[in-house]
Amino acid sequence: MGRHKVLNTPAIRRMPTYFHKLVLMQQAHEEVVSTTVLAKYMGLEPIIVRKDFELTGVKGQPGIGYKTHELIEAIRSYLGWDACKKACLVGAGSLGSALLGYQEFSEYGMLFTDVFDADPEKIDTRIHGHLVRDVRQMTPRLRQARPDIGIICVPAIHAQAVVDDMIACGVRAFWNFSNLCLQVPPNVVVQREVIAGGLALLSMKLKTHDII
């Protein structure tokens, strides 16, 4: 039986910040970058940055650094942003609508192919150019054109049922924005985003530093 590759989650979470900084440097015609510069920008030790870049397979030059464009492409490839991923979003409320309007997703290789909602006032309207379909049309449509990713922005009470239906259609990866820990088979992957978790950390930092 094959083993799942263990992901270096902290390094993966740092990669987008490296990527965005490198793009800015490239736009400023900075052709070479050192780990020292990026470490200072990120508030890290240079050795951590160097080990992160080793994961991408890119090679730097001793005493010189990395070629900016090579590092950008190495990170893009490592994160899988160089391949198009079709996404289906369910729940076109405030959060879902905001995600649909985030134009940088295309830079990360993600393309919205379907949007579904249960609200009659949203059905057959367009949000940021994306047609919103009746959620009752989801199963037959996804059986015809299966997306790579399901994005869940529905209330927690409906999230599991929506995911179950999508799994039955063959969807195997989910980005979960609902306040529910989804129950899925072993061959399905879920990335849960807990927005309140970030706010909780910020609140504790404010409390710890006695800012408020």
The answer to whether 145 is annotated as binding is: no
The answer to whether 94 is annotated as binding is: yes
Q: Is 46 exposed, middle or buried (0-12, 13-18, 19+ CB in 10 A)?
A: middle
| 192 strand-pairing partners | 176
The answer to whether 63 is annotated as binding is: no
* Residue carrying the six token digits 């440097």: 25
The answer to whether 91 is annotated as binding is: yes
| DSSP H or E stretch at residue 168 | helix 156-168
The answer to whether 129 is annotated as binding is: no
Instruction: Say if CB 24 and CB 46 are below 8 A apart.
Output: no
The DSSP code sequence of 4-43 is: PPPP-HHHHHHHHHHHHHHHHHHHTT--EE-HHHHHHHHT
**CA-derived radius of gyration, the chain:** 20
- Using CA atoms, how far apart are residues 171 and 111, in angstroms rounded to an integer? 15
Binding-site residues sit at 91-96
Binding-site residues for NAD(+) sit at 91-96
